[in-house]
Structure 1
Amino acid sequence: MTARRLDLDGAVLLFDRDTGKNVLVRGDETRDAVQTAPRVVQMALTNACNKTCGFCYRPLEARSAWTFDEVLAFGGFLTRWGVLELALGGGEPTVFPKFPDLVRRLWAETGLAINFTTNGTRLTDELLDAIRGSVGQIQLSVYDDEDLDGAIDRLVARRVRFGLNYLVTPARLRTLDADLLAWSARGVRDVLLLSYKGEEALHLSPKELRALDEGLVRCHDHFEGRMQLKVDVCWSTRLPNAPQLFFDPDCRAGALFLSVTSDRRVLSCSFAEGGVPFERFEELPAIYMQLKTARLAAPKPGCARLPAHGLGARRRRALPRYAELT
């Protein structure tokens, strides 16, 4: 295993992009380690998308400012800074001009693991063949109106490391067990259960949260490691019984990961608003250290840093703003 190293606060993380393996080292010898770079940078490669989903949270007015050469240069900077992974999103990243070439060159010319999240509509045989061996993991978002099974079959046939992004809403909760069983039979081995951030109507009620919590325990016992069931950090303390390898009531946004927008702003996470604009890559380490300390919340119901997750009567509170960092 050829691993890259990232110092955390009081620990050291070793990561091998070829296998996806992480090794966390913590002891007397790591006591003085300080994290000065995020583990992952989530980059909105473009704000363009070939779908118009009602639940999409991206700012539609944001411009797409990145060029092919700028993204390559950005990847080189992130490697020198110490970042381990670059996660490409959007918009829909596969609509970015010369996307397969970009992925191949980022993998070949940087030390980063290159991942991307896609709606799957452009996940063709040709694209998958073009990026073979040049991507760490593909996250495939689940849409009810797309050919999910076809995309899964293409990924499984090529033995690509991939996972499904499954947004858990009240309607989807009712079919969760059946969906997981069907995907497992089709060859899916990784599912990330996303919590909703936005209008309260699509959030789970306390009763539905308990049902999800119990269902995850049941599914964990059933699959016995054949499928990795993951929960995003925004669930925080709302799933107290679901087995979790790592648990932290704080999401670590702005510390473990950082979000960069299509119009060159820095956010703690992709659900935040505003952000800190930048022109030169060299500005990012200082911005990162500010965000790491500030622990800003996203002003959307569902954020783990809001009282009661911003749901119900306790959602209103004055929050620090990005403008106050500059």
Structure 2
Amino acid sequence: MALTNRCDLACAHCYAPKSRDALRFDIVTQWLAELDSLGAFGVGFGGGEPTLYPEFERLCQHVARETGLSVSFTTHGHHIDEGLAEGLSGSVNFVRVSMDGVGETYESIRRRSFPALLARLKHIRSICRFGVNVVINERTLPDLNEAAIVAEDAGACELLLLPQIPVSGVPGITPYILHGLRRWVDDYRGALKLCINEASAEGFPTCNPLIEERGLRAYAHIDAMGVLKHSSYAETGIPLGEGSLLPGLDQLAHDLAENDT
């Protein structure tokens, strides 16, 4: 769930619209109660930047207290101080931190201090287990060795590789860079668990422990305007309004099946 489109960074590869749209707290908790009743495993909060959602801490605490869903979120990390970390501890199961490259590469893409990010990782580590996400392109691939070392040294347990998707005039990953990424994965001998997004998984070694969980049984995305989509990159979806989530899931499944035929 993209809780808000608000973000104080302006990364060129970001797919989120630059708007102030945000989901209402009561609607989010309603949808999460529905998903919990269906036996869903968990919810991942994103954005925009989810820590800019005014009731983010309260929402995570609510989910942990009132449902059986696991809670994760993806963040640039720069707003997680000691106070927020304490408020989220015990309510969040996993944090994913976006770190595109290291040092000057990171700072040229994110326009934030890399040492400042490393300082924030100490607070994030106190919340729960965390991983690092890296968008892979011609600028970040050469940094992967050092990025893995930095992530491991900071206490991360996972490195999520995200080959760049074309958005808003920014091209996707080239075949040459993708081939380089495959070679890097084959040669990696570090301690981090390597993961890759489903859309780019072909040609990479993967493990799927839940082989029957595919399509909408595995994943769905709700953007900050309340539109249900089969992925965060999908251009169209089902507007949910303030109603139940279940009819939207049924309609989206129907539409996807029709498109397949």
Q: TM-score range by the shorter chain?
A: 0.7 to 0.9
Q: How far apart are residue 73 of structure 1 and its match? A: 1.9
1:126 — aligned with what? 83
Moved more, 49-58 or 129-138: 49-58
Q: How far apart are residue 77 of structure 1 and its match? A: 1.4
Whether the 8 Å contact between 2:6 and 2:49 is mirrored in structure 1 is: yes
User: Aligned pair 1:264/2:232, yes or no?
Assistant: no
1:53 is matched by which residue type in structure 2? C
User: Aligned pair 1:274/2:202, yes or no?
Assistant: no
Q: 1:197 aligns with which of 165, 178, 186?
A: 165
Q: What does residue range 1-326 of structure 1 map to in structure 2 within 5 Å?
A: 43-61=1-19, 63-64=21-22, 66-143=23-100, 144-145=106-107, 146=112, 147-156=116-125, 158=126, 160-198=128-166, 202-219=171-188, 222-223=189-190, 226-237=191-202, 240=203, 242-246=204-208, 252-279=214-241, 280-281=243-244, 282-291=246-255, 293-294=257-258
Whether the 8 Å contact between 1:195 and 1:234 is mirrored in structure 2 is: no
Q: How far apart are residue 218 of structure 1 and its match? A: 0.9
Q: Which whole-Å CA distance do the structure 1 matches of 2:172 and 2:3 have between them?
A: 28
Q: How far apart are residue 201 of structure 1 and its match? A: 6.2
What is the SS of the residue equivalent to 1:254?
helix
Whether the 8 Å contact between 1:125 and 1:154 is mirrored in structure 2 is: yes
**Residue correspondences, number:** 244
What is the SS of the residue equivalent to 1:54?
coil
1:35 — aligned with what? none
Q: Which whole-Å CA distance do the structure 1 matches of 2:5 and 2:237 have between them?
A: 16
Higher RCO (CA < 8 A, seq sep 6+): 2
Whether the 8 Å contact between 1:167 and 1:193 is mirrored in structure 2 is: yes
2:47 is matched by which residue type in structure 1? G
Whether the 8 Å contact between 1:258 and 1:267 is mirrored in structure 2 is: yes
CA separation of 1:159/1:128 partners in 2, compared to 1, >3 Å: closer, same or farther? closer
Give the TM-score taking structure 1 as reference length: 0.68
Give the TM-score taking structure 2 as reference length: 0.84
CA separation of 1:189/1:96 partners in 2, compared to 1, >3 Å: closer, same or farther? same
2:147 is matched by which residue type in structure 1? D
Q: Which whole-Å CA distance do the structure 2 matches of 1:124 and 1:181 have between them?
A: 23
CA separation of 1:131/1:295 partners in 2, compared to 1, >3 Å: closer, same or farther? farther
CA separation of 1:174/1:167 partners in 2, compared to 1, >3 Å: closer, same or farther? same
> Could you say which structure has the larger radius of gyration?
1
Higher helix share: 2
Question: Is there any run of 5+ residues in structure 1 with no aligned partner, and where?
Answer: 1-42, 297-319, 321-326
What is the SS of the residue equivalent to 1:257?
coil
CA separation of 1:196/1:252 partners in 2, compared to 1, >3 Å: closer, same or farther? farther
Whether the 8 Å contact between 2:99 and 2:134 is mirrored in structure 1 is: yes
Whether the 8 Å contact between 2:222 and 2:229 is mirrored in structure 1 is: yes
Q: How far apart are residue 53 of structure 1 and its match? A: 2.1
Q: Which whole-Å CA distance do the structure 2 matches of 1:206 and 1:198 have between them?
A: 13
Q: Which whole-Å CA distance do the structure 1 matches of 2:73 and 2:170 have between them?
A: 29
Whether the 8 Å contact between 1:46 and 1:262 is mirrored in structure 2 is: yes
Q: Which whole-Å CA distance do the structure 2 matches of 1:81 and 1:119 have between them?
A: 31
Q: How far apart are residue 109 of structure 1 and its match? A: 0.5
RMSD across aligned positions (CA) = 2.5
What is the SS of the residue equivalent to 2:80?
coil
CA separation of 1:212/1:82 partners in 2, compared to 1, >3 Å: closer, same or farther? same
